[in-house]
Structure 1
Amino acid sequence: MERTYRYRHRQEDLVHFQVVVGETDLDIGVRRERFSPELVKRATQMVRECRAPLEEYIKRDPAFLKAHTPYDVPPGAPPIVREMAEASRLAGVGPMAAVAGAIAERVGRALARFSRDVIVENGGDIYLRSARIRRIGIYAGDSPFSNRLALEVRSQDTPLGICTSSGTVGHSLSFGMADAVVILSPNTALADAVATAAGNLVKDPDQVGQAVDFAAGIPGVTGALIICRDKMAAWGRLKLVPA
């Protein structure tokens, strides 16, 4: 089924296609001249290769899947598991809060060998690599800011993770009530985990500033934008423009 929010990050000069493997549902954009059925097959195989070691690890250590707080994994765990565990440790949440960002970045980096411009969206979490300025629209539910703002991202600031969490929109797990929490980081898994953690802190519109301060204090985070009803707070290397 089509995810209606996807038009907010789609780019007119790119060809977008979907890859679905298990719970992973990606919208991928590549340069028009680089698109081919073979690339779709390659992307699908990349997703399977990302998921396989994670699925095998969860079979051996099922508590990893259900943890809502930072979770220690052994040094011999697969790289994607260790990356998720480290991102969630920095953010103070469970490791599965980083899974969408981790997969998006791994697939995006692999595709960058074939296309100079790549955008991979996984449940609202984006890995972006671009040779030109891009605009990413911001949806914030019933907030008056919804669909009125966009992030403008310069090519020199990519590769970049742009991850979104919400307590009022979509299926992502949040213990807060923010309409949109957008976190920027070169580490997409970290951006994903911090978006969840910062969103959990927003129980009231007046707490958007505190949640942004929390995100700003985490090493590796380069920008944060939080919207709750009629309140908005922003920090870092981000440029907001009219949508």
Structure 2
Amino acid sequence: MAELKTTHWSHKYTKLQIKAPNKTKTQEIIEKALETQIKIEKHVKQNPEFLRSLKPLEKDERNHIGPIKKMLRASNKTGVGPFAAVAGTINQISAGNINEPVLIDNGGDIHLQGPHTYHIKINAGKASLSNQIALEIKRDKRPLGVCTSAGTVGNSLSMGEADAVTVIDRDTALADAAATAIANKVKHQDTETAIKKGLDHADDLEIQGCIIIKDDQIGTTGRIPQINLIKKTK
């Protein structure tokens, strides 16, 4: 299986780590990511609330196309603002032809596709399990989103206290928004109860699966990839 080449690219709030089979595919992803971000920025300029809102704005996303439609749909399905899906949306649209193996990581929100075996570590900040487990994902052509939100790690807005909430779904935009929505629920209780509350909310959403890490505990629900422990090096 051919090795994927890694490239880093950033523009304003988009910071991509791209793994693709060749420079041509990488450039296609970058051009599509920039085009998608410009469309989103244009919509925000005309509708500032699209950026600021923490709840759904429009019940019927069919009045829109492209990234705006995807973000509104994810927002409506999860109850959070449309910008909670921005990274997943840019990744998903930029990836292009599903026959080619591609991984796009946008600040912990990952879109992958194509025939390849991927290993995704979960960063959970200072939690004991942080970077100690990895998802082993064997793909054919079908795309998959693996998106992580946290209340203790990173710059993204979260109202919860989870060290990591990772959502797995075929729709990367939905996985991104759902991770935020679930992470918001993990708070104000003992660790086990807080995780259960988050998992209960995950079960209410139309997603494939969810992993929650808080303190030294982990909980899962739905269909998730194989979880492997990473051996600590001395």
Question: Structure 1-normalised TM-score?
Answer: 0.86
> Does structure 2 conserve the Cα–Cα contact (< 8 Å) formed by 1:216 and 1:222?
no
Root-mean-square deviation over aligned CA pairs:
2.0
Q: Hey, what does 1:77 align to over in structure 2?
A: 64
Structure 2 residue 165 is the aligned partner of structure 1 residue 165 = no
* Distance of aligned partners of 1:121 and 1:201 in 2 relative to their CA distance in 1, 3 Å threshold: same
How far 1:23 sits from its partner (Å)?
Answer: 1.7
How far 1:46 sits from its partner (Å)?
Answer: 0.9
How many pairs align? 225
Please state whether the residue corresponding to 2:119 is helix, strand or coil: strand
1:43 maps to a residue whose letter is I
> Does structure 1 conserve the Cα–Cα contact (< 8 Å) formed by 2:20 and 2:26?
no
Deviations 1:171-213 (A, max 9, x none): 1110011000000000001000010010000114231122112
Please state whether the residue corresponding to 1:191 is helix, strand or coil: helix
Distance across 2 between alignment mates of 1:75 and 1:42: 27
Of 189, 200, 214, the residue aligned with 1:228 is: 214
Of 83, 93, 112, the residue aligned with 1:128 is: 112
Distance across 2 between alignment mates of 1:20 and 1:152: 27
Among all aligned residue pairs of Structure 1 and Structure 2, give the percentage whose two residues are the same amino acid. Answer: 35
Q: Which residues of 2 match residues 114-193 of structure 1 at below 5 A?
A: 116-156=100-140, 158-193=142-177
Distance across 2 between alignment mates of 1:156 and 1:215: 26
Q: Hey, what does 2:197 align to over in structure 1?
A: 210
How far 1:59 sits from its partner (Å)?
Answer: 1.2
Q: Gapped runs of 5+ residues in structure 2? A: none
How far 1:40 sits from its partner (Å)?
Answer: 4.0
* Distance of aligned partners of 1:156 and 1:40 in 2 relative to their CA distance in 1, 3 Å threshold: closer
Q: Hey, what does 1:6 align to over in structure 2?
A: none
Q: Hey, what does 1:51 align to over in structure 2?
A: 37
Q: Gapped runs of 5+ residues in structure 1? A: 1-11
Of 19, 33, 36, the residue aligned with 1:29 is: 19
Deviations 1:10-47 (A, max 9, x none): xx92101012222211110012xxx12x4443332211
Which runs of at least 4 in structure 1 moved beyond 3 Å after TM superposition?
A: 38-41, 73-76
Please state whether the residue corresponding to 1:133 is helix, strand or coil: strand
> Does structure 2 conserve the Cα–Cα contact (< 8 Å) formed by 1:21 and 1:47?
no
Please state whether the residue corresponding to 1:71 is helix, strand or coil: coil
Of 62, 65, 89, the residue aligned with 2:76 is: 89
Deviations 1:46-70 (A, max 9, x none): 1121112211111111111100011
